[in-house]
């Protein structure tokens, strides 16, 4: 009779590869046959309690690490993929998906990678249809490439969230990030004046075993910089693997993606997924209150809200954008399929561009696109820099946007309940065909301008039908 056990094929195979072992080497260490190792890795034999104990003894591993990625997580990812319209006429039951995962784990991983690549290419095609590099979507643009890379994954990396959550617990036990650096890496944190840092806000000095921080940074920024440095040290292999799975054609794009994922890890370390997701629901998405709870900034907290799409533990999908006073977009993240994520952000009717007149005040707004889609927006100014006399401060505006149906779950909904008339906005003037907009800066593509020899409209441009 087959001994009872659990099926850990993909995780056992990854453990073996991480250790640099062949099946024969692992078999010798565990005192089993190479063919038995192969059967366990293909989920054709369970991993028994006896084998688990041998694994723990031979490789000094925590057995809980093998159970972190549950099969339900992969099933949830497969179910999410199968909801895509491309599979609309294919009826696959959850039981069938579970059978595929159990019997063909390699195929499951291949399917998910292929689907992610497909989504990434869909975003690239959407960019090409706009037909102009003026939108910052040229394939040679590393920033646009990384935005597509993140959007295809809904700005969510569940495996990194699991690792960061475990690390966050160890950091708390060490009394915080500085203590953890001392105990784990023999690195000491020092804060130095800006003139000594010579243009750096963070620097790792391996020779002196020090992490140097600009002392003009506020507490939230210092903490985040330490967390990002820790991500570079402890998660570098995982980050590189995530980057390698993207269709990033230039070295600049790969470096930007590496930086973006390191920042993602930093956010996951200081705002661990489970605790953060629980706080989000308890405080009804009150960004300022959540930021105080975790000792983070408004922008860091808003950014983290866009990442809460872990299969089975999803929260409201948000679009995030950051602009300066001139309307230049410096950050866009999307887990909500908001059209502005790819081709816009510059409509002057959106309060995102007006909050500079009311600094640090949260401004809410109902939005309606020309096709009738409605969204709820939360915007506020944020600042970086400063911290000492004469140190430049940069003020930008950020906005979180969700579909109208999610708005009632937010604390801001109480003070801005529908049926407030939504503001009619467009993705961008060149793509917006509203004829009565007095804020328009240029005519839409494909419309002819009417002469104004005998009639001048109250809008900047009059269009022929």
Q: Of 296, 355, 312, whose CA–CA distance to 304 is shortest?
A: 296
Stretch 193-209: mean pLDDT, rounded? Answer: 90
Report which of residues 440 and 208 the model is more confident about.
Answer: 208
Q: Which two tokens stand for residue 372?
A: 């009738």
Element (H, E) at 292: helix 287-294
What's the confidence (pLDDT) of residue 70? 47
Encode pLDDT of 78-127 as tens digits: 887 887 767 767 888 877 887 777 667 778 878 888 888 777 666 565 55
What's the confidence (pLDDT) of residue 173? 96
* Spatial separation of the C-alpha atoms in residues 353 and 69, rounded to whole Å: 42
Does residue 435 have a pLDDT over 90?
no
Sign of CA dihedral 177, 180, 181, 182: positive
Does residue 374 have a pLDDT over 60?
yes
Encode pLDDT of 246-277 as tens digits: 889 899 999 999 999 999 999 999 999 999 99
CA dist 202 → 193, 259, 262 (Å):
12, 14, 14
Tell me, yes or no, if the two domains 7-66 and 137-269 fold the same way: no
The residue behind tokens 């992610």 is 116
Report which of residues 246 and 432 the model is more confident about.
Answer: 246
Does residue 286 have a pLDDT over 80?
yes
Do the Cβ atoms of 351 and 360 come closer than 8 Å? Answer: no
Torsion, Cα of 176, 177, 183, 186 (10° steps): -150
Q: How many residues does the chain have?
A: 465
The beta strands (E) that lie in 164-274 are given as 188-192, 202-205, 210-214
CATH of span 137-269: 1.10.10
Does residue 182 have a pLDDT over 60?
yes
The residue behind tokens 């009804």 is 284
User: Residue 129's pLDDT band (boundaries 50, 70, 90)?
Assistant: very low
Encode pLDDT of 314-350 as tens digits: 999 999 999 999 888 888 887 766 766 455 557 888 9
Does residue 423 have a pLDDT over 70?
yes
Q: Of 237, 219, 227, 358, whose CA–CA distance to 297 is shortest?
A: 219
What's the confidence (pLDDT) of residue 440? 81
Q: How many CA atoms lie within 13 A of 79 on its CB side?
A: 15
Extents of the domains making up the chain: 7-66, 69-136, 137-269
Does residue 217 have a pLDDT over 70?
yes
What's the confidence (pLDDT) of residue 132? 44
* Spatial separation of the C-alpha atoms in residues 217 and 219, rounded to whole Å: 7
What's the confidence (pLDDT) of residue 133? 39
Average pLDDT, the chain: 84
Does residue 134 have a pLDDT over 50?
no
Does residue 128 have a pLDDT over 60?
no
In CATH terms, 7-66 corresponds, of 1.10.260.40, 2.40.110.10, 1.10.150.120, 3.30.360.10, to 1.10.260.40
Choose the weakest-confidence range: 6-20, 41-55, 211-225, 266-280.
6-20
What's the confidence (pLDDT) of residue 95? 79
Does residue 36 have a pLDDT over 90?
yes
Q: Of 441, 440, 437, 464, whose CA–CA distance to 452 is shortest?
A: 464
User: Residue 2's pLDDT band (boundaries 50, 70, 90)?
Assistant: very low
Residues 6+ apart with CB under 8 A from 409: 284, 285, 316
Do the Cβ atoms of 376 and 410 come closer than 8 Å? Answer: yes
Q: How many CA atoms lie within 13 A of 250 on its CB side?
A: 12
Element (H, E) at 382: strand 374-385
What's the confidence (pLDDT) of residue 416? 63
Stretch 305-315: mean pLDDT, rounded? Answer: 91
The residue behind tokens 């009417």 is 450
Stretch 2-27: mean pLDDT, rounded? Answer: 80
Q: Of 192, 195, 247, whose CA–CA distance to 225 is shortest?
A: 192
Do the Cβ atoms of 316 and 285 come closer than 8 Å? Answer: yes
Stretch 54-78: mean pLDDT, rounded? Answer: 72
* Spatial separation of the C-alpha atoms in residues 160 and 444, rounded to whole Å: 43
Report which of residues 115 and 384 the model is more confident about.
Answer: 384
Report which of residues 127 and 313 the model is more confident about.
Answer: 313
What's the confidence (pLDDT) of residue 277? 96
What's the confidence (pLDDT) of residue 454? 67
């Amino acid at each position: 009779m087959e001994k009872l056990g659990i099926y850990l094929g993909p995780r056992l195979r990854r453990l073996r590869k991480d250790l640099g072992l062949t099946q024969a080497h692992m078999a010798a260490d565990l005192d089993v046959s190479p063919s038995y190792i192969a059967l366990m890795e293909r989920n054709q034999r369970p991993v028994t309690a006896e084998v688990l104990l041998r694994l723990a003894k031979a490789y000094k591993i925590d057995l809980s690490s093998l159970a972190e990625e549950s099969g339900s997580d992969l099933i949830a990812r497969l179910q999410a993929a199968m909801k895509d319209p491309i599979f609309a006429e294919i009826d696959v039951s959850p039981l069938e998906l579970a059978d595929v995962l159990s019997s063909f784990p390699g195929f499951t991983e291949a399917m998910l990678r292929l689907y992610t690549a497909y989504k990434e290419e869909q975003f690239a095609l959407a960019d090409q249809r706009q037909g102009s590099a003026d939108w910052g979507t040229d394939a040679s643009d590393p920033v646009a490439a990384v935005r597509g890379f993140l959007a295809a994954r809904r700005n969510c990396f569940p495996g990194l969230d699991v690792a960061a959550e475990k690390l966050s617990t160890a950091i708390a036990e060490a009394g915080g990030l500085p203590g953890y650096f001392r105990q784990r890496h023999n690195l000491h944190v020092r804060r130095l004046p800006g003139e000594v840092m010579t243009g750096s806000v963070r620097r790792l000095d391996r020779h002196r075993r020090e992490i140097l921080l600009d002392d003009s940074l506020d507490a939230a920024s210092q903490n985040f910089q330490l967390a990002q440095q820790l991500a570079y040290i402890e998660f570098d292999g995982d980050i590189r693997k995530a980057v390698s799975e993207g269709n990033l054609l230039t070295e600049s794009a790969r470096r930007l993606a590496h930086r973006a994922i390191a920042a993602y890890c930093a956010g996951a370390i200081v705002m661990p997924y489970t605790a953060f997701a629980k706080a989000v629901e308890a405080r009804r998405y009150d960004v300022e209150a959540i930021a105080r709870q975790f000792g983070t900034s408004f922008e860091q907290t808003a950014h983290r809200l866009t990442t809460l799409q872990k299969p089975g533990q999803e929260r409201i999908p948000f679009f995030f954008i950051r602009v300066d006073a001139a309307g230049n977009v410096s950050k866009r993240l999307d887990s909500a399929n908001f059209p502005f994520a790819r081709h816009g952000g510059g409509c002057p009717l959106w309060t995102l561009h007006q909050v500079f007149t009311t600094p640090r005040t949260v401004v809410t707004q109902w939005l309606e696109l020309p096709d009738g889609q409605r969204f709820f927006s939360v915007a506020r100014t944020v600042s970086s820099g400063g911290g000492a006399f004469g140190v430049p401060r940069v003020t930008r505006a950020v906005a979180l946007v969700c579909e109208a149906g999610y708005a009632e779950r937010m604390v801001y909904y109480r003070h801005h309940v529908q049926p407030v008339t939504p503001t009619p906005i467009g993705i961008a003037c060149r793509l917006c065909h509203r004829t009565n907009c007095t804020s328009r800066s240029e005519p839409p593509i494909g419309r002819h301008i009417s002469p104004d020899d005998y009639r001048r409209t109250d809008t900047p441009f009059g269009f022929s039908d």
